[in-house]
Structure 1
Amino acid sequence: MADLTSTTQYGRRAAVFGLAATGIYLVMINITLEHLQLLSGLRPFDMRPGGYSSEKAYALLDALGGDGRQYYLTRQIPLDLIYPAFMALTLVSFLKWLASQGVNRVLTQIGAWLSVGAALADYLENAGICTLILNWPAPQAGLVYAASAASIAKAVLTTLAVLTTTIGLTIWLYRRIRDWLKRSLHG
């Protein structure tokens, strides 16, 4: 009975965290990041999974102007301090649910670590963006490189975490369909 309770709790947690993460993501994509892009005419740092050069970072910071840089710090960054945790909690909870359903524990543990790593990289990216903005107009090239590397790491780790979760879900679905077909053919 305790296993069933924990299984149900993992599923509920994944749903609640997933709804919160989705809500925050939609606000960022449709409001804060959209506003920053309209204001500057350039893609914000958060929307550059391949990273950025010093020249591109300086161009964005300059195009944002003082009000845009302040908006980044006071609107986008606070949302992006909440989102990575909810995203990681969603994936980790869902992976725990998959593990409780018999999906390979090594796969689900790897997915959980990738999810936590993606959140940590996102926080490093946010710290880098804040530091770039606060040091404007004299951000250091090394700082741009570090923030860009965090952006790339976030994108890679997030992709791997979601891919691992998708593989786990595919395994679970395959087993469910296979078992259903066996019952249908033999019953």
Structure 2
Amino acid sequence: MNKIIEKNISGKKVLGFFIVTNLVYAFMLMVTIPKTMAFSNGLKLLDMMPTGYDFNYVNKLFSTLGENGRETYLINQIPVDMIYPLLFGISYCLLMAYFLKKINKLKSPFSYLCLLPILAAIADYLENLGIIKMLTSYPNYTETTVTIASMFSVIKSISTSIYFITLLVILILLGIKSLKKTSSTI
């Protein structure tokens, strides 16, 4: 895995993946999520609930969405959200590796931090599969399906949060390293 990452952490590749990933994310935030939420009467969509949800919330949301809203969720939001996790996993894995290399920590146990966005992506896919199952079987989905989908929502949000906190720490370390390098050349 490290060899694949090392071959792909040129600044241009990392930036390219980062831009494409965030364009897809922006499209979801500005188009598919609002289009779906137009039917939700202010209720959050399941994939936007970092602390998870329960059976009663899903019933309330799906009932409020109505047939058109559930179809919009399934036909508009979910397909884009099946592309995004792959892009997120690759892009942010490479971004972490890029900055770890800058602080000379890529060939260390810190390289495992590159797996956090991949874990988040896998959890996002499993969450999406649960949402698809619930949407297609409405109103006959089980509490177990809701619990499992919710669990993957929480795993996705925890791994994403840990990733961004870690990335921030690494960027701070890189800034300190750059300041030290600059002050030693003055």
1:142 to 133, 136, 144: 144
Distance in 1 of aligned mates of 2:8 and 2:56: 50
Q: Given that residues 118 and 154 in structure 1 are in contact (C-alpha distance below 8 angstroms), is that contact kept between their aligned partners in structure 2?
A: yes
1:154 aligns with 2:146: no
Give the superposition deviation at 1:38: 2.1
The answer to whether residue 86 in structure 2 is matched with residue 85 in structure 1 is yes
| Structure 1 range deviating more: 135-144 or 167-176 | 167-176
* Aligned equivalent of 1:23: 23
Q: What CA RMSD, in Å, does the superposition of the two structures yield over aligned residues? A: 1.7
For residue 3 of structure 2, what is the aligned residue in structure 1? none
Correspondence 1:5-154 to 2 at 5 A: 9-41=9-41, 42-105=43-106, 106=108, 108-154=110-156
- Range that drifts further, 166-175 or 141-150: 166-175
Which secondary structure does the structure 2 equivalent of 1:40 belong to?
coil
Superposed structure 1 runs of 4+ greater than 4 Å apart: 6-9
Cα distance change, pair 110–146 in 1 and its aligned pair in 2 (3 A): same
1:108–1:165 Cα contact (<8 Å) kept: no
- In structure 1, how many angstroms separate the alpha carbons of the residues matched to 2:178 and 2:40? 49
Verify the 8 A CA contact 1:61 1:69 in the aligned structure 2.
yes
| Cα drift, residue 98 of structure 1 | 1.9
Cα deviation for residue 17 of structure 1 reads 1.0
The whole-number CA distance in structure 1 between the counterparts of 2:48 and 2:66 is 19
Partner of 2:177: 175
Q: Percent same amino acid at aligned positions?
A: 26
Tell me which of 161, 164, 167 is aligned to 1:165.
167
CA apart distance, 1:58: 0.8
Question: Which structure: greater helix fraction?
Answer: 1
Tell me the TM-score normalised to structure 2 length.
Answer: 0.89
Contact kept? 1:128, 1:146, Cα under 8 Å: yes
Distance 1:45 1:173 in 2: 37
User: Is the Cα–Cα contact under 8 Å of residues 91 and 165 in structure 1 kept in the other structure?
Assistant: no
More deviation, 48-57/85-94: 85-94
